[in-house]
Amino acid sequence: MQDIHEAIERINFFQKKYPAPTEDMYYGAGPYLRRFLGIPAFIPIKVLVDHAPREYDNPRQYQLEHKLPSFVTREAQRKMLLQHGRSAYVMGSHFVHYRRENKIESSPRALGTVSFPLHSTHMADVVYNWDRYADQLLALPQEFQPVTVCLYWKDILNKSHEIFLKKKIPVVTSGHLVDPEFLKNFYEILRQYKYVTSNMLGSYAYFAVEMGVPFFLYGDEALFNNTGGDTYRPSGIYSINVRPGYKEAADFFNFSSFKDIQITPAIRNMCFEKLGFDRPIDDKNCLRKVIYISLFRDVQMNVAAHLRLWFKKIYIAFLGEQSYVKLKNKFKKSDLKKVDADTYASGGNFP
């Protein structure tokens, strides 16, 4: 069993080192992408990477705000981005790639249930009666015992784990979201259990089913409290079950009785579709080429932007700002290929 105190020390280390990580660092997405495509560590990844699968296909706001190409999980997400004039390529879930590459399977000694409760984020906390949830887990039928709780790093820092430990429920964690061992830890935990559960639907459900471990929803609904730090989510207290596609996906895991919990063909097909493994992904050579082209355009755009800025500063220093304004007004807007590194978002649109 994992030493939770050592895990907490490691979480604190990464939280201090990376207080505001970029999304390509989440859950090893960027580092695994490098290994998967053979991209050297010194090459910056100038694409938008999906860190985990989601129920809905609509683009995320940041995918529309930037013009970088997106590596998405599945074909339906690619089609939606194309409709918005953005380029996108299908990679599938890097979790599944990692599991298959490392030939990770359920342990023949798998026993009991591991719970992955809905977790907090950097800018929004889960509002939940953890004490009641612990009692609900202990009340599961004997077939699902013993129970273990896998808590997200943020909820551990919020000390939610102490409630479970007081009730003698073991607590484990996959670690901080930028921990390079996150994927390894996640699957090492997952493979040890016969069942997986949660109080809300999340990507852990899809990963469990893909590996052949049944998942079921159990417990009271959890809510988020966004105090305003996350501009991409509703402010105040809200539920994720209003998210597009959530209810339709969650209904697959609301079983009428415990004896009905299993992986049906419909559940398996739905999960494989969400993970992007219901059809071939884009060719590795194509994905690799996109990364290098995007990097080239990023360098090109940033160099041009810096040259414009330097020219402006030098011109004003010698001839004054009024002279610079007059010079700008001599040219029509159509004659100027203006480069704004911020709005162009490092790379421009791909065909």
Residue ranges in the chain assigned as alpha helix (H): 4-17, 29-37, 61-65, 75-83, 94-101, 130-138, 153-157, 161-166, 182-190, 203-210, 246-250, 265-275, 284-319, 321-330, 341-344
Name the amino acid, one letter, at 68: L
Q: What is 172-230 written as a DSSP string?
A: E----TT-TTHHHHHHHHHTT-SEEEESS--HHHHHHHHTT--EEE-SPPPEEEE-SS-
Q: What is the pLDDT of residue 130?
A: 94
Measured distance CA(92)–CA(94) in Å, rounded: 6
- HSE value, Cβ hemisphere, 13 Å, CA-based, for 189: 28
Q: What is the pLDDT of residue 231?
A: 67
Q: What is the pLDDT of residue 121?
A: 79
- Print pLDDT tens along the chain (351 aa): 788 889 999 999 999 999 888 777 888 888 888 999 999 888 888 888 888 888 888 888 878 888 889 999 999 999 999 999 899 999 999 999 999 999 999 999 999 999 999 988 777 788 889 999 999 999 999 999 999 999 999 999 999 999 999 999 999 999 999 999 999 999 999 999 999 999 999 999 999 999 999 999 999 988 878 876 666 677 778 787 778 888 999 999 999 999 999 999 999 999 999 999 999 999 999 999 999 999 888 888 777 776 777 778 787 888 888 887 877 777 644 444 443 333 333 333 443
Q: Which two tokens stand for residue 193?
A: 């259990």
Pick from 237, 240, 265: nearest CA to 250: 240
Q: What is the pLDDT of residue 346?
A: 34
Q: What is the pLDDT of residue 12?
A: 94
89 CA to centre of own chain:
16
Q: Which two tokens stand for residue 167?
A: 């009730």
Q: What is the pLDDT of residue 56?
A: 85
> Diameter of the chain by CA atoms?
83
Measured distance CA(32)–CA(192) in Å, rounded: 23
